[in-house]
Chains A and B, each alone.
Chain A
Amino acid sequence: EAGVVQSPRYKIIEKKQPVAFWCNPISGHNTLYWYRQNLGQGPELLIRYENEEAVDDSQLPKDRFSAERLKGVDSTLKIQPAELGDSAVYLCASSLLENTGELFFGEGSRLTVL
C-alpha cells in the first residue's frame, strides 16, 4: 500500500514568490493534516480536513497561506507571497476519520526562502 506522497521534496525560492505543495494521502483516509515543522521543533498544525471540509484552520496564517482539498482526496497548500520566516518543512499526514490514533506522515517538503 502506498504511503502519503508529497511533492516537491525540496523547494528554494526568493521571498515574495509564491509556492505550492501537494499531498496525496493514503487511500481511504478521510482526515488530512498539514503541519509546519521548524528545525529542532515539533510539528505545528496548520490545517486539518475531514473529507473536503476544513475543520481546524485556526493556526493557518490566512493572509498568505491557503489550502484546498478538492473531492476530499489530494490537497494543496499554497503560500503567496513567501517570507523568510516561512522556511521550514511542510508535512502532510492522513488518518482514518474514526481513528483517534495513528497518523501517517509523508516525507515532507523542505522550503527555503532566500
Chain B
Amino acid sequence: SQQGEEDPQALSIQEGENATMNCSYKTSINNLQWYRQNSGRGLVHLILIRSNEREKHSGRLRVTLDTSKKSSSLLITASRAADTASYFCATLMDSNYQLIWGAGTKLIIKP
C-alpha cells in the first residue's frame, strides 16, 4: 500500500526557478525521506527529516514537515537541468517501521 501521496504528479519549470513538491501521509511516522530517481536508474537518498523536526536543509534542498497536517514539502532552489528526475517521498511508520512510498513527482527543468 502507498501512504505517501505527492503532488503535483508532474512539474515543469524553467532553469533557475524554484521547484516545490508536496507529500501527504496518513498515519504517525518516525521519519520522512525524500529520494530522487533519474530515468532508468535506481533511487538516491536526498534528505531525511525526523518527526520531531520541522525543517531541514541540505545544499539547495529545503524540507519542511508539518505533523499536524501530515504533510511535507521539498523545495529545490535555483533549479538546474540536472535536477530533472522523479522525486519520491517515503515515510517510516512509527508502528512497524515499514517504509511506505508515494507515487512520485516528475520534475522537468527546461533549459
**Cβ distance A54 to chain B, nearest Cβ, rounded Å:** 14
For A9, give the chain B residue with the smallest CB separation.
Answer: B40
A-B contact count (CB 8 A): 51
Q: Does A88 contact B (CB under 8 A)?
A: no
Q: Give 1 or 0 for each of B30-53: 1 = CB within 8 Å of chain A CB.
A: 110101000011111100100000
Beta-carbon contact of A41 and B45 below 8 Å: no
On chain B, the number of residues with a Cβ less than 8 Å from chain A's Cβ atoms is: 24
Whether A104 touches B31, Cβ cut-off 8 Å, given contacts A40-B103, A44-B101, is: no
The one of A41, A93, A104, A110 that contacts B103, using a Cβ cutoff of 8 Å = A41
Whether A107 touches B42, Cβ cut-off 8 Å, given contacts A42-B102, A42-B104, A100-B97, is: yes
**Cβ distance B51 to chain A, nearest Cβ, rounded Å:** 11
Q: Does A47 contact B (CB under 8 A)?
A: no
Q: Does A25 contact B (CB under 8 A)?
A: no
What is A's interface to B at a CB cutoff of 8 Å? 4, 40-45, 56, 91, 93, 100-108, 110
